[in-house]
Amino acid sequence: MFTRIAGVGSYLPGNPVTNSDLIQRGIDTNDEWIVSRTGIKARHLAEVGCTSSDLALEASRKAIASADIDVSEIDLIIVATSTPDFIFPSTACLLQSKLGNKGAMAFDVQAVCSGFVYALNIAEKYIRTGASKKALVVGAEVFSRILDWEDRATCVLFGDGAGAVILEASEAPGILASVAHADGSQHKILSVPGSICGGKVVGDPFLRMDGQAVFKFAVRVLSELAHECCAISGISTGDIDWLVPHQANIRIIESTSKKLGLSVDKVIVTLDSHGNTSAASIPLALDVAVRDGRIQRGQKILLEGVGGGFTWGAALIEY
Ligand code: ACO
């Protein structure tokens, strides 16, 4: 028994905010710096009051429609997010309520930009063991809430959005390999090292990053993940039809595809118009490429993510 993706959906809030728009908002930067270092030209930023569960709801509705199922059939909801609506209840429970689903198991996964592939890894096992029949797996983020808009080295990199998939059991191949890893000793290179205690923020509530350390770590593990998934599935990296990587930075994506000997034409890139949407970036890119017809049923797709923790993971799918 396999786990297959039965439907996909995504959602971006509001209008694109271009690099020039950021300059107009007072950020001391320039389009040439952002585009040449990161590949990002625009991102979407949620209005105040719009939460991760709001974005997740819109993406989920599209995934449910694309899978042609009723919301009552979903028995497992996992939301990958580092920007939950509340400390608790989970964003998954809030999403369940907004969707009008009752009874499904619902919880959040916190693995930052690897969150979606972590959530997929968990849901795949629930489906394959028969514990779940239909799972909704979502990546949803309002990273704009945790950015220090005075720190030009990080605030230009991120955006808000959500992507979702419906998973179901299938006798025909679906997810061929799913792997996930972490190295907590690297927690300082990308973090939001603050918390709430006694009604006050303690520590730093903004995203902090050692960009060069992240770059090196990401390129290494993204190519290792591809080889690991291919070895499990008994295929070579040349058999991959599409690479759908976490959309952090075009230079990380290009270095990874070069290391793997994969042509850039086989890589789905959306970060130019979405920025880095953390846990939402992989399902957002997947949805874009399914809807524009590049990704077709039967093709081999490698989804791979890397993020704070440090965490990394991938899924090789016969779509
Ligand atoms: N606009 C203009 N200039 C800027 C900006 C900006 N937005 N940000 C930084 N600079 C300047 C700095 O002030 C510095 O100027 P100086 O030399 O006069 O002091 C110069 O650019 C270089 O700054 P660095 O921080 O050293 O920039 P670096 O060359 O390392 O590039 C970047 C930063 C693009 C983030 C790079 O480290 C990188 O690609 N890292 C990968 C990490 C990444 O993409 N993270 C995304 C999130 S993590 C994830 O999703 C897994």
Q: What pLDDT shows up at residue 42?
A: 98
Q: Could you tell me whether strands 134-142 and 76-80 are parallel, antiparallel, or unpaired per DSSP bridges?
A: parallel
Shared-domain flag, residues 149 and 35 = yes
Point out the domain boundary residue: 172, 191, 212: 172
Ligand 1 pocket test, candidate residues 215, 220, 221, most atoms within 8 A of CB: 215
- The CA distance from 95 to 71, in Å, is 12
Q: Which of 139, 172, 205 is the last residue of a domain?
A: 172
165 and 208: one domain?
no
* Range of the structural domain that residue 106 is part of: 2-172
The residue among 165, 146, 198 whose CA lies nearest residue 282 is 165
- Nearest-CA residue for ligand 1 atom 42 is 211
Residues above pLDDT 90, as percent of the chain:
99
Average pLDDT over residues 113-132: 97
Instruction: Give 266-311 pLDDT, tens digit per residue.
Output: 999 999 999 999 999 999 999 999 999 999 999 999 999 999 999 9
Task: Give mean pLDDT, residues 152-177.
Answer: 96
Q: Tell me, yes or no, whether 81 and 209 share the same domain.
A: no
Grade residue 1 by pLDDT with cuts at 50, 70 and 90: confident
| Sheet with 105-109, edge to edge strand ranges | 2-11, 160-170, 134-142, 76-80, 105-109
Same domain? For 306 and 185 the reply is yes
User: Which of 172, 195, 222 is where one domain is finished?
Assistant: 172
The answer on 222 and 167 residing in a single domain is: no
157: helix, strand or coil: coil
For position 36, what pLDDT does the model report? 97
Tokens 């039965």 found at: 6
Same structural domain, 242 and 229? yes
Confidence at 80, pLDDT banded by 50, 70, 90: very high
CA of 120 to the centre of ligand 1 (A): 31
Q: Tell me the pLDDT of the chain averaged across its residues.
A: 97
Q: Cα angle vertex 57, ends 1, 314, to 5°?
A: 40
For ligand 1, the distance from its centroid to the CA atom of residue 256, given in whole angstroms, is 19
If one counts the domains in the chain, the total is 2
**CB under 6 Å to ligand 1: residues?**
29-30, 33-34, 37-38, 113, 152-153, 156-157, 190, 209, 211-212, 214-215, 218, 248-249, 251-252, 276, 306-307
The pLDDT of residue 231 is above 90: yes
Residues 50 and 109 in one domain: yes
Quick one: 14 and 83 in the same domain? yes
Name which residue sits closest to atom 22 of ligand 1, judged by CA: 153
- Give the closest residue (by CA) to ligand 1 atom 14: 153
Over residues 200-228, the mean pLDDT reads 96
pLDDT at 143 over 90: yes
191 plus 286 within the same structural domain: yes
- Centre of ligand 1 from the C-alpha of residue 213, in Å: 11
237-241 average pLDDT score: 96
Is 159 within 8 Å of 165 (Cβ atoms)?
no
44's enclosing H/E stretch is: strand 42-44
Buried b (16+ CB within 10 A) or exposed e, 223-254: bbbbebbbeebebebeebebbbbbbbbbebbe
**In testing the pocket of ligand 1, which one of 34, 40, 249 has its CB within 8 Å of the most ligand atoms?**
249
Indicate if the pLDDT at residue 153 is higher than 90: yes
Q: Are 236 and 295 in contact (CB under 8 A)?
A: no
- CATH code of the domain covering residue 259: 3.40.47.10
* Residue 92's pLDDT band (cuts 50, 70, 90): very high
Clarify whether residues 11 and 154 are in a common domain: yes
Let me know whether 74 and 223 are in one domain: no
Amino acid at 245: P
So which residues are the catalytic ones? 113, 246, 276
182 with 312, same domain: the answer is: yes
Give the pLDDT confidence score for residue 286 in this predicted structure: 98
The Cα–Cα gap between 6 and 55 comes to 20
Residue 207 has pLDDT above 90, yes or no: yes
